Amino acid sequence: MAQGNLGIEPEVLKAIYGKMARIRAVDKAIQAGLSAGKFMFTYWPMTGQECIPATISQLTTERDYMITTYRGIHDQVAKGVDLYGMFAEALGRQDGVNKGKGGSPHISDPSSGSMVTTAIVGAGAPIANGLAISAKERGEDRVTIVNFGDGATSIGAVHEAMNLASVWKLPVIFMCQNNEWGEYTPIPKYTASPNFYGRAEALGFRGVKLDGNDPAAFYNGMKDVIDYVRAGKGPVFVEAKTFRMGPHAGVGDNYNVDKDYLKTKKEQAPVAKTRALLIDAGICSEDELTELEAAAAKEVEDAIARAMESPVTPAEETLVDVFANVDDVPRRGHYPVRADEGTLPTETKTMSMADAVQDAQKIAFAKNPETFILGEDVGDPHGGVFGTNKGLQTEYGENRVRPTPIAEQAIIGAALGSSIAGMNPVAEIMFSDFMGVCMDQIYNHAAKQRYMSGSATHAPMTIRMQLGGGMGGFGAQHSQSMEAWLLHSPGIKVAYPSNPVDAKGLLTSCLNDPDPCVHLEAMILLYTMKGEVPTGEYSIPLGVAKTVREGTDITLISYGWMLNQCVATADELAKEGISAEVIDLRTLMPIDYHRVLTSAKKTGRAMVVHAAVEFCGYGAEIASTINEELWRELKAPATRFGAAYAPIAYSNAIETFQVPNSGSIAARVRELVKD
């Protein structure tokens, strides 16, 4: 074939093959090492899919963002992740690109633009939108490419992300590497759709189908796509047709395929086909390609040899990178003395808790032009269902106050991606009950990003959630207290204020914290609880509890709207001669154990009170710690009091009974202080 008929510049084709050879060398070395027992890690082969990232590498730079999946080692190699660091990571070594904490399924390498690798199918798509938001808002010409297999198109997160990208015309490419398999299930067994790219057209943006095994056709098609996205015309969905030669996981051939069909697909595979094309067109000789392939194999061999000799990530690293400050990580026997909140400004204004939340956000918006809010109905004139954002959209515009579709995965993913890129997002989830819809983005991604990446990337984002408990009539799906779920997800900080002063100060701290924070807001307090709130900027440090009432007979430990029930209880008990000390935790993670233990030691008794279900609740953890640390000095075992083990009832009479109140708390206290 004459070089002029290739449809691609010879040097570009040669460069693509060079990347393909490098990918193939990595793939072969891993499969050989696993087969020989040299390596002990899980591998998801991508043999046959080399052309897609190799070609894209010739059209993008390290400035462009990429997200890929656990089956993404070819994407990582093509993007420029250091081979030594990549192999050291897969082997759990300290010199790994992420200190051995994430492994190959979670590589994050911002220096190459490989921002996120996720082992959750389809989960990268919402995060890609956030990266794209950052590029668009900063006026950068970066594109974001999110890779996923055809199987991921069945996941709701991908649909939510595609819809949001279309509405906001984001510079993101949804790269569906259609390898004909959803893990071990062939396409006809999991969808009746005739194709995948047509789904983009149904959502109002461009979709194309390209041959992912033909470097010339794919190069030209992708050049058009990337130019289109860089020009700000919106997202594109690319269905890149290819074939996975190996099994879902492991080594060898795809044993689910008919042998004759597999033989045909091997003949169509891009590496051998491109190699033959280079020789037939006179671009390279056999010797040149052999030398190129040998160099790639040698580079891989050397990287593996170094990685095998590199030090194992030590156990001392276990708690490092959970948070920016390891002191915030809870563990047995670690109860640091927390700093006081300091002196607050003296000039005040009467505010409701909703006003205080709004004021904290106004200050953040004025201070940081990259602070923005996204969520359902957050725009004006109402400023959200609870009015906490009122006026912000009018003052700062629709790019900084972004009403979204009803799509919690898309909301949290976009906030996460933009925070990884350095923005300061506030994601509003209308009720904490809806957290279950987007929990994957919260606890599998936002919470773990710093740790999995060895702090190469992190997610300084704030999630605001309202809780409907105590209002009556909201029922089982709008009234839950789900904080324990968050607290069992290492890497998330949780604040839960009981009054307007703390609401403003804690939210300000969340907005300036380097880690993902959840700010819980009790709906029952938003407009009923008012107070004199300092004007201007101030913060209440995360992890600092407060003694709101001194006492000598028992310590009541609480937070949020239940704290006020405890104060009312203490006032009532004082009439009976029972002196209750009340501790407002304010922050649930990190927890101020020093103040809790000091108070419990002083009074000799302690009870943790919360609106969440008592069984397996946060109170049990705190009570257990008090008992373990102070059992010799307590007058009675520390205990906890939470809601009954039942969904919150719609009936006011039942809800009042099943959740602690000042009367039921007082009854428990009387039992505890009996001689």
Domain boundary assignment for the chain:
3-9+45-83+107-283, 348-534, 546-672
Q: Give tens-digit pLDDT for 67-96.
A: 999 999 999 999 999 999 999 999 999 999
Residue 152, pLDDT above cutoff 60:
yes
Q: Which two tokens stand for residue 622?
A: 């705190």
Give the mean pLDDT of 98-117.
97
The pLDDT value given to residue 234: 98
List phi, psi (to 5°) of 494. Answer: -130, 125
Give the mean pLDDT of 304-331.
97
- Global pTM reads 0.96
Worst-scoring range by mean pLDDT, 12-16, 205-209, 247-251, 364-368? Answer: 247-251
Q: Return d(Cα 329, Cα 429) in angstroms, integer.
A: 26
Give the mean pLDDT of 570-582.
98
Worst-scoring range by mean pLDDT, 112-121, 167-176, 464-473? Answer: 464-473
Q: Give tens-digit pLDDT for 335-384.
A: 999 888 888 999 999 999 999 999 999 999 999 999 999 999 999 999 99
What CATH superfamily is the domain 3-9+45-83+107-283?
Thiamin diphosphate (ThDP)-binding fold, Pyr/PP domains (3.40.50.970)
Give the mean pLDDT of 522-531.
94
Contact present, 367 and 624 (Cβ < 8 Å): no
Q: What percent of the chain has pLDDT over 70?
A: 99
Does the domain made of 348-534 have the CATH classification 1.10.1520.10?
Answer: no
Q: How confident is the model at residue 305 (pLDDT cuts 50, 70, 90)?
A: very high
Q: Give tens-digit pLDDT for 120-143.
A: 999 999 999 999 999 999 999 999
Angle CA 12–17–21, to nearest 5: 150
Residue 524, pLDDT above cutoff 90:
yes
Q: Return d(Cα 417, Cα 170) in angstroms, integer.
A: 13
Q: Give tens-digit pLDDT for 617-655.
A: 999 999 999 999 999 999 999 999 999 999 989 988 899
Q: Which two tokens stand for residue 170?
A: 């984001």
Q: What percent of the chain has pLDDT over 90?
A: 90
Residues 6+ apart with CB under 8 A from 584: 498, 502, 545, 546, 547, 548, 558, 559, 563
The pLDDT value given to residue 2: 60
Mean pLDDT of all residues belonging to the chain: 96
Give me the CATH code for the 546-672 domain, please: 3.40.50.920
Q: Which two tokens stand for residue 152?
A: 């991921």
Residue 508, pLDDT above cutoff 80:
yes
The pLDDT value given to residue 339: 83
Strand, coil or helix: 585 = coil
The pLDDT value given to residue 342: 81
Residue 255, pLDDT above cutoff 80:
no
Q: Give tens-digit pLDDT for 28-64.
A: 999 999 999 999 999 999 999 999 999 999 999 999 9
Q: How confident is the model at residue 24 (pLDDT cuts 50, 70, 90)?
A: very high
The pLDDT value given to residue 252: 82
The pLDDT value given to residue 360: 98
The pLDDT value given to residue 116: 98
Residues 6+ apart with CB under 8 A from 577: none
User: Distance of CA 201 to CAs 122, 197, 208, 222, Å?
Assistant: 19, 7, 9, 18
Angle CA 64–91–78, to nearest 5: 25
Residue 479, pLDDT above cutoff 90:
no
Q: Which residues are catalytic?
A: 478
Domain 348-534 matches domain 546-672 at the CATH topology level: yes
Give the mean pLDDT of 403-428.
98
Q: Is 203 exposed, middle or buried (0-12, 13-18, 19+ CB in 10 A)?
A: middle
Q: Return d(Cα 71, Cα 44) in angstroms, integer.
A: 5
Residue 675, pLDDT above cutoff 90:
no
208: left (phi over 0), alpha (psi -120 to 50) or beta: beta
The pLDDT value given to residue 652: 86
Q: How confident is the model at residue 217 (pLDDT cuts 50, 70, 90)?
A: very high
Contact present, 32 and 84 (Cβ < 8 Å): no
User: Distance of CA 550 to CAs 213, 553, 593, 661, Å?
Assistant: 73, 10, 17, 20
